[in-house]
Amino acid sequence: MKKLPIYIFLAVFLFSFSLSANNENLYKKLNTFGDVFETIRSNYVNDVNEEDVIEAAINGMLQSLDPHSSYMNLENYKEMQEQTDGKFGGLGIEVTLESGYVKIISPIDGTPGAKAGVQPGDYITHIDDESIFGLSLTESVDKLRGLIGTTVNLKIAREGEDEPLEISITRAIITVEAVKFRREGNVGYIKLISFSEQADRGIKKAINNLEAEIGNDKLVGYVLDLRNNPGGLLGQSIAVTDSFLNSGEIVSTKGKDKSDIGSFKATRGDLTKDKPIIVLINRGSASASEIVAGALQDHKRAIIIGEQSYGKGSVQTVFPLNDRSAIRLTTALYYTPSGDSIHKIGITPDIEVLRSKDTDNEIDNQLDYALDLLTKDQFIK
């Protein structure tokens, strides 16, 4: 059987959609879309890949809503699934789209991006000497990806710098170890790097091992480090927070309809046995890490130290499509237990401590401040 041209399928789709919409203005716009597509096919100076044109239209439609909604073709969708498993290829940076450029939410600790000196808030303006202004987030991310072992050259605009920075990063297989921990005297230090599927399991292992190593009678408290944590799975943020609470709401989500409200509550059993907790955050703490910090702050379970967090408080739901592609769509916003929105605001620390710029000597004044506070006699319960 002879295949019908793609524009006929598109016309049928648009016609069906317009009937359900029952809106004359909407019908006209959809009809115009079909006209534009047909004009491109018939008159554009070069041959066009019709599927690419449709994908670009879908992506543009989604990204006109917000920077976090996007279209994923089969390859992109597969890569997204690999990221949530904790192993993927790339630079190790979490990005969004802002003002026409790629903005760094956070470099993931231990990855090529972090080692090269990329910082939260940086704007990528050029990739391999080509401007990316006006490209979609998907198009820009595709340019960042490449063969393992190859190098990508970035031009970066950074607040406080008069001239653009040029940074070269070698692509690698990124294996994200969700949790790292160590003893700092009689304090348990836990670094939560990302909210992949290993996060909750890693937190439980860290608490158990630190208590066994230090001893419950000598253990004075924990530092939970969420700096440069770009977030991840909602379920993991809830499970991680639950490890530090005995009761109460962790986070609520509100969608399009007033009735579309979700509330997630802690179950009994604080794994730290009510030991004092200090949480470290910075501009690279986003999404799931802000849920944890906000819940522990609202319940007065932890003192938050550091800098204002990123402010990414929206829920993205992945909707698989029939052709095995998918769309990532913002469907709800996060709210802390006190009812405050995280989105575009972030979490305000209880004690602001700006990160020392003396990175050459690896001075971590935020961690030093937290450790000093935890070991003060008046702080210990």
Active centre residues (catalytic): 287, 298, 312
Taking the alpha carbons at both ends of the chain, their separation in whole angstroms is 78
Specify the amino acid at residue 190. Answer: I
Q: Would you say 23 and 67 are in contact if contact means Cβ atoms under 8 Å apart?
A: no
Sequence-distant (6+) residues with CB within 8 A of 311 are: 286, 290, 342, 343, 344, 345, 346
Q: Would you say 369 and 358 are in contact if contact means Cβ atoms under 8 Å apart?
A: no
Question: How much helix, strand and coil, in percent to the nearest 5, is found in the chain?
Answer: 30, 25, 40
* Rounded Cα gap, residues 32 and 14, in angstroms: 10
Q: Would you say 347 and 280 are in contact if contact means Cβ atoms under 8 Å apart?
A: no
Torsion of CA 15, 55, 78, 197, to 10 degrees: -80
Residue 302 CA, chain-centre distance (Å), reads 23
Which sign, positive or negative, has the C-alpha torsion 242, 247, 250, 253?
positive
Q: Would you say 333 and 341 are in contact if contact means Cβ atoms under 8 Å apart?
A: yes
Return the axis-axis angle of helices 50-63 and 6-21, rounded to nearest 10°.
30
Q: What number of other Cβ atoms are within 10 A of residue 362's Cβ?
A: 7
Q: Would you say 379 and 276 are in contact if contact means Cβ atoms under 8 Å apart?
A: yes
* Rounded Cα gap, residues 77 and 270, in angstroms: 36
